Structure 1
Amino acid sequence: MKLFSLAALKRTSDIFAIRGGIHPETRKYLSAQSAIEQMPLPSLIRVPLQQHVGAEAVALVKRDDRVLKGQLIGKARGAISANVHAPTSGRVIAVGHFAAPHPSGLPVATITIRPDGKDEWGPRMPRLRPEDADPNEIAERVMEAGIVGMGGAVFPAAVKLNQRERYDLHTLVINGSECEPYLTCDDRLLRERAEEIADGIRILARAVGVKKVIIAIEANKPEAIEAMRRHTFAIGPEARVTKVPTLYPMGSAQHLVKAVTGLEVPARARTAELGVLVHNVATAYAVHKAVRYGEPLISRVMTVSGQGVKRPANVEALIGTPVSDILKQCGGLTGEPDRLLLGGPMMGLPILSLRVPVIKGTSGILALMRTETRPRAEMPCIRCGGCVKVCPCGLMPMEMHARIQADDLDGAVDLGLPDCISCGSCSFNCPSNIQLVQGFNYALGRLAVKQSQKHQQEETKRLAAARTARMDAIAEKKRAAMAKRKAEMAAKKKREAEAAAEAGAARPNPQEAAE
């Protein structure tokens, strides 16, 4: 049964309203006019083996190995994982654990490389001619290149492309909205490398077998919109650039699809189930380099901004470059920042150390001063309903928060906690300054642990039952073998007795023989 009407797709000039959303101060002016600059080679590179959704990659190198630029150093493991490559040539000085670019700061498996300064490429992947390549070949190349969703989701891109085998896809949506405040890296990519992005989009469209392409860009990026419109002809006759409202969280895949197609994604469903696949503009650029030139994902463009940065900029840095090196390239800090974030101010991850590396999903480094964060004391909820009004998922944040505070996790789940996308709109709009989204993230973490424990218990029971069944089968097999052996031995004895009797009957009696 179809979940939507294709008639909605005919309204190509319309923008459909999405639920909720907010208009935070964008502060994009800090870096929007800064052209992308290339970072110099750092003195040390730390490449985590977990930079993606799914299983951690398996290290393929050891200490003292020499590696070349683009060499595979971490092999994807399992159905959902991603390869990891050496960002430059040098010597591996450690394969161990280092602090993760995450609020926890917990150590993760990391390969540390000391660059040799030569930046020497190893053998690149064979180039493909996408016009003649099979979709499976393109997906395979994207997988080999270790490309993930670079808008922040870091879901392995090849897994997404292979959804064409499960769903009847008809539209490719390219996410160029970049709705997070401060961030301008996608804007600069669209302005400066529109031709390469258009080629990447064309490759993605061929890989999923669709002709209809919508490139969605927020209205506050007029130069990016114009740059992409000049190159839509290279993508195909059914490709178009759509200007979407400047509204947060327009960059959410579900809400972007609703805005440009009118199709509403059901709760906990994928956009692919509606026939629509969404990819970020930076992902399209990475696909272009992988397919056309055989280059894996070893660098990315990111924004360095905030009033705590002396010279806000957009830089292209190698994966694994320490945050401290990138800030130094931008003039350093103006003082002690109130918050240091990887990503945007709404959904970015706070970090405690400048030594942590940037990874594939790092879209920005923000150093925010107290004048920008404006910390306020938390007050009791006044039941104004402001959080309900702005929630893009149609949830009731205040009620979920009350359930979580009462330790009623199941009640929060019943109210839709798993549908929360952690956009932070509710916290931003709360006049009492209640940190709603932090509470939801905490509860979602507890829920994940609870589900993991339940899964482990069920798996333990399954394994125990399987072992019992296996041992019973072995015992039954032994009993059957023993019974068979006993039967064979009894039959053998019977045959021997019968043979002896027959031999005795045939042998002449000695007395009779004497007579």
Structure 2
Amino acid sequence: MNEVKLWDFHGGIHPPERKALSNRTPIQPTPLPARLILPLGQHIGAPAEPIVAVGERVLKGQPIAAASGRVSAPLHAPTSGTVGFIGLQPYPHVSGMLAPAIVIDSDGLDEWTTREPCADYRSLEPALLLERIRLAGISGLGGAGFPTAMKLTARPQEKIHTLIINGAECEPYITADDRLMRERAAELVVGIEILAWLIQPEQVLIGIEDNKPEAIAAVRTAIGERPFSLRVLPTKYPSGGEKQLVEILTGQQVPSGGLPADIGMLCQNVGTCVAIHDAVLLGRPLISRIVTLTGEALARPMNVEALLGTPVSELLAFAGLDETRMDRLIMGGPMMGLTLPSLDAPLIKTSNCLLAPTRSELPPPPPALPCIRCGACADVCPASLLPQQLHFFTLGQEHEQLKAHNLFDCIECGACAYVCPSSLPLVQYYRAAKAEIRELEQKQHKAEHSRRRFELRQERLRKAEEQKEAERQARAEKAARAKAVEAESASVPHQEAPSASQAAGLSDLQKRLKIEASMAQVALKKAEKQLAAHVTAELEAQVAELRAAAEAAQKALAAATAAAPAAAPAGADAALKKAKIELAMKRAELKKAEKAKADETELTRLREALAGAERNLHAAEEASDKPAPQLVRTDKRPLNEKLRTLKTELAFARADLRKLERDEAADPPALESARTRLAEAERRLAEHQSE
């Protein structure tokens, strides 16, 4: 192959590699565990949701949990057996916390479910090929575990022109990818071909550090004549970081806060590529992975292919663990790994190494001293950050300053802590600060979401109230116009007999009295219903008054019917009625214009038209020989202030009680209090009316 240009990234360190402990022997299979613990959250994003029940028998490769969102991945049974438990179980985390998991009791048969291999993946549509990868539950096997199918679904504006395959494996002790590339180079290259078929990049770059000569030779042989470019990198930590590898291979830097896809690049780990090969060509979901077992506390350091969910204690026992020599257990490497507080945790998709060092091998760091501002941390930071400034901002919980100084660009490689002469645990500070900021942002997001929902609800209520008010005003205007016409029509007593056209029907006076009698009856019946539901002195008095009014209306109607006057000339009567209607309409037009604040010219015209209508009415009255109308005023006795207060209190008490009675979740003591309040309001009103 031709020599190609490589670039370098800022900083970096060269810690002792210690890879020879585990890379000398082939990958070994592990014994079948009696029990597997499968956490539902083994990747970045939403945890999977169980689709099996306790007591159900499952087969190897059978889905047992489905993806619960766009950024999620399904989970499969690593062997055949019975679901023994679904609930909280140990989880590989430094806190020793428990997490939701599915526990499978193995039946020892290791019986596969039906598989659907596809020898010719090019015959599949890209969407179907991507769906196979998604359903296989594959997530990144070399980093944080981002669901692979989601990573492959780049947005249209982010055309991927470069596919980068990460075989750097730069962290000390870890050799899982090294042995994988040596022994499964053919499967690796086919997996890369599948990815290239999916995303159609312009170039494919494979990066491997120069401390893995056997892996480099195996991959070069497997590539053959394929248009893939194998690039050998100088050994330097952390060259396997995604952004650092992009810069080494292409010379381009990923923007702060961005992803390689933002500059048209996509990175995949070599283990992920092999898992894609197995999922597509063999129909095998991700149920196992290569993991390095290393450290001087192990009698036989090695790499094994272990089923997901295998307890860590069983893997270490297989490698000959001497617990008396082990100082601590690290999942991952010495730079970025996490210390496990217990051996009960299971192996998960992102577990690439179990390191069991002795105390002399990896002595604990000395007590932390104050920062001396030497600047060594900034010199080695591969993300070109200012670690000492981030440290001080973290101590002061200055979150805005942390974000302004690009805290989230930190890849937590540990290079700064490695060179710190004061032994400050800088990465721990950064992890804690990131968690605090994420939690606060989540709370702010929830608060903002709640505020927006409240404002939208208030806006809906306001618009509904405006619509109701407009409808009320329209009804009021319509009623006012009708009342004006009725008032004008009834302003002159109708003592004459009906005209020729009304001879067989009722006179205007009889019609009006009949309407009044009907309205009085309706009001009486409504009050009698209320009295039947709530017997109070006030309602009894009201019913008595309405009954008297209804009887009086009936008597007036009967008297008018019995004493029908002689008929007036039909033409004069019709002219009089027309004049009254015309007057009412002109008066309504003037009032409407005055309310709308029309200009003075329009108001003058309407006033003149009203005056003309009044003159026409007087002329019609004279022609009809009817007496002038007599205005009858009814003096309504006003309520005194105390009675008004008592009635208001009664109305509020009744409304509150009805509201509580409609609420199914109402508190019984509150209901009882509302009933007592209503009874007291009724008693006080009755006492006042009886005075």
TM-score by length of 1: 0.90
Deviation, 1:469, is 3.5
| Aligned counterpart in structure 2 of residue 143 of structure 1, from 127, 134, 144 | 134
Determine the C-alpha separation between the residues in 1 that align with 2:239 and 2:105. Answer: 40
Equivalent in the alignment of 1:349:
338
Determine the C-alpha separation between the residues in 2 that align with 1:490 and 1:125. Answer: 79
Deviation, 1:125, is 4.0
1:131 counterpart SS class: helix
Determine the C-alpha separation between the residues in 2 that align with 1:438 and 1:285. Answer: 33
Deviation, 1:45, is 0.5
Equivalent positions of 1:22-61 (< 5 A) are 22-61=13-52
Provide closer, same or farther for how the CA distance between residues 292 and 470 of structure 1 changes in structure 2, counting only shifts above 3 A. farther
Equivalent in the alignment of 1:467:
457
**More displaced stretch, 284-293 vs 103-112:** 103-112
CA deviation string 1:108-130 (max 9, x = no partner): 11001101111111122452622
Deviation, 1:245, is 1.1
CA contact (8 A) 1:105 1:352 kept: yes
Equivalent in the alignment of 1:209:
200
Aligned length: 495
Equivalent in the alignment of 1:129:
120
1:94 aligned to 2:85?
yes
| Aligned counterpart in structure 1 of residue 328 of structure 2, from 335, 339, 345 | 339
Equivalent in the alignment of 2:318:
329
**What letter matches 2:78 in structure 1?**
P
Provide closer, same or farther for how the CA distance between residues 79 and 488 of structure 1 changes in structure 2, counting only shifts above 3 A. farther
Equivalent in the alignment of 1:233:
224
Deviation, 1:477, is 6.6
**What letter matches 2:8 in structure 1?**
A
**What letter matches 1:189 in structure 2?**
L
| Aligned counterpart in structure 2 of residue 190 of structure 1, from 181, 184, 190 | 181
Equivalent in the alignment of 2:56:
65
1:98 counterpart SS class: strand
CA deviation string 1:202-223 (max 9, x = no partner): 0011111114111100000000
Equivalent in the alignment of 2:411:
421
Equivalent in the alignment of 1:453:
443
1:242 aligned to 2:219?
no
Determine the C-alpha separation between the residues in 2 that align with 1:382 and 1:103. Answer: 29
Determine the C-alpha separation between the residues in 1 that align with 2:277 and 2:475. Answer: 69
1:219 aligned to 2:210?
yes
Determine the C-alpha separation between the residues in 2 that align with 1:380 and 1:365. Answer: 32
Deviation, 1:354, is 0.7
CA contact (8 A) 2:292 2:304 kept: yes
CA contact (8 A) 1:152 1:362 kept: no
Equivalent in the alignment of 2:66:
75
Provide closer, same or farther for how the CA distance between residues 311 and 459 of structure 1 changes in structure 2, counting only shifts above 3 A. same
**More displaced stretch, 218-227 vs 431-440:** 431-440
Equivalent in the alignment of 1:5:
none
Equivalent in the alignment of 2:8:
17
CA deviation string 1:37-75 (max 9, x = no partner): 111210111111101111111111111111111111111
Provide closer, same or farther for how the CA distance between residues 302 and 106 of structure 1 changes in structure 2, counting only shifts above 3 A. same
Equivalent in the alignment of 1:296:
285
1:159 aligned to 2:159?
no
Determine the C-alpha separation between the residues in 1 that align with 2:422 and 2:85. Answer: 48
| Unaligned segments of structure 2, at least 5 residues | 485-497, 506-565, 568-691
Determine the C-alpha separation between the residues in 1 that align with 2:137 and 2:355. Answer: 26
Deviation, 1:363, is 0.4
Equivalent in the alignment of 2:581:
none
Equivalent in the alignment of 1:174:
165
Which of structures 1 and 2 has the larger relative contact order (alpha carbons within 8 angstroms, sep 6+)? 1
Provide closer, same or farther for how the CA distance between residues 401 and 464 of structure 1 changes in structure 2, counting only shifts above 3 A. same
**What letter matches 2:332 in structure 1?**
G
Q: Larger radius of gyration, structure 1 or 2? A: 2
Determine the C-alpha separation between the residues in 2 that align with 1:307 and 1:38. Answer: 21
Equivalent in the alignment of 2:360:
371
Equivalent in the alignment of 2:254:
265
- Between structures 1 and 2, the one with greater helix share: 2
| Aligned counterpart in structure 2 of residue 388 of structure 1, from 364, 367, 378 | 378
Determine the C-alpha separation between the residues in 1 that align with 2:361 and 2:472. Answer: 81
1:435 aligned to 2:438?
no
Equivalent in the alignment of 2:577:
none
Provide closer, same or farther for how the CA distance between residues 490 and 380 of structure 1 changes in structure 2, counting only shifts above 3 A. same
CA deviation string 1:412-446 (max 9, x = no partner): 32222121111100000112211111111111111
Equivalent in the alignment of 1:279:
268
Determine the C-alpha separation between the residues in 2 that align with 1:82 and 1:484. Answer: 59
Deviation, 1:182, is 0.5
Equivalent in the alignment of 1:8:
none
**More displaced stretch, 277-286 vs 60-69:** 60-69
Determine the C-alpha separation between the residues in 1 that align with 2:240 and 2:127. Answer: 28
Determine the C-alpha separation between the residues in 1 that align with 2:481 and 2:120. Answer: 73
CA contact (8 A) 1:310 1:334 kept: no
Deviation, 1:509, is 3.7
Deviation, 1:233, is 2.8
1:324 counterpart SS class: helix
CA contact (8 A) 1:341 1:349 kept: yes
Equivalent in the alignment of 2:545:
none
Provide closer, same or farther for how the CA distance between residues 127 and 507 of structure 1 changes in structure 2, counting only shifts above 3 A. farther
Determine the C-alpha separation between the residues in 1 that align with 2:113 and 2:241. Answer: 37
Provide closer, same or farther for how the CA distance between residues 493 and 15 of structure 1 changes in structure 2, counting only shifts above 3 A. same
1:443 counterpart SS class: helix
Determine the C-alpha separation between the residues in 2 that align with 1:442 and 1:158. Answer: 30
Provide closer, same or farther for how the CA distance between residues 195 and 504 of structure 1 changes in structure 2, counting only shifts above 3 A. farther
Equivalent in the alignment of 1:3:
none
CA deviation string 1:288-329 (max 9, x = no partner): 001101111111000011112221110111111110111111
**More displaced stretch, 331-340 vs 448-457:** 331-340
- Between structures 1 and 2, the one with greater strand share: 1
Determine the C-alpha separation between the residues in 2 that align with 1:483 and 1:340. Answer: 78
Determine the C-alpha separation between the residues in 1 that align with 2:253 and 2:374. Answer: 27
CA contact (8 A) 1:386 1:430 kept: yes
Provide closer, same or farther for how the CA distance between residues 12 and 163 of structure 1 changes in structure 2, counting only shifts above 3 A. farther
1:399 aligned to 2:425?
no
**What letter matches 2:375 in structure 1?**
G
1:116 aligned to 2:107?
yes
**What letter matches 1:270 in structure 2?**
L
Determine the C-alpha separation between the residues in 1 that align with 2:147 and 2:298. Answer: 32
| Unaligned segments of structure 1, at least 5 residues | 1-10, 495-502
Deviation, 1:90, is 0.8
**What letter matches 2:126 in structure 1?**
P
Determine the C-alpha separation between the residues in 2 that align with 1:414 and 1:43. Answer: 51
Provide closer, same or farther for how the CA distance between residues 63 and 488 of structure 1 changes in structure 2, counting only shifts above 3 A. farther
Deviation, 1:336, is 4.7
Determine the C-alpha separation between the residues in 2 that align with 1:39 and 1:92. Answer: 21
Superposition RMSD in Å:
2.6
Determine the C-alpha separation between the residues in 2 that align with 1:331 and 1:504. Answer: 121
Determine the C-alpha separation between the residues in 2 that align with 1:173 and 1:244. Answer: 13
1:229 counterpart SS class: helix
2:224 counterpart SS class: helix
1:291 counterpart SS class: helix
Provide closer, same or farther for how the CA distance between residues 471 and 343 of structure 1 changes in structure 2, counting only shifts above 3 A. farther
Determine the C-alpha separation between the residues in 2 that align with 1:123 and 1:480. Answer: 67
**What letter matches 1:220 in structure 2?**
N
Equivalent in the alignment of 1:362:
351
**What letter matches 2:17 in structure 1?**
T
Determine the C-alpha separation between the residues in 1 that align with 2:482 and 2:119. Answer: 71
**What letter matches 1:129 in structure 2?**
D
What percentage of aligned pairs have identical amino acids?
43
CA contact (8 A) 1:129 1:291 kept: no
Determine the C-alpha separation between the residues in 2 that align with 1:261 and 1:299. Answer: 33
**What letter matches 1:353 in structure 2?**
S
Deviation, 1:344, is 1.1
2:219 counterpart SS class: helix
CA contact (8 A) 2:17 2:171 kept: yes
Determine the C-alpha separation between the residues in 2 that align with 1:262 and 1:433. Answer: 33
Deviation, 1:476, is 5.9
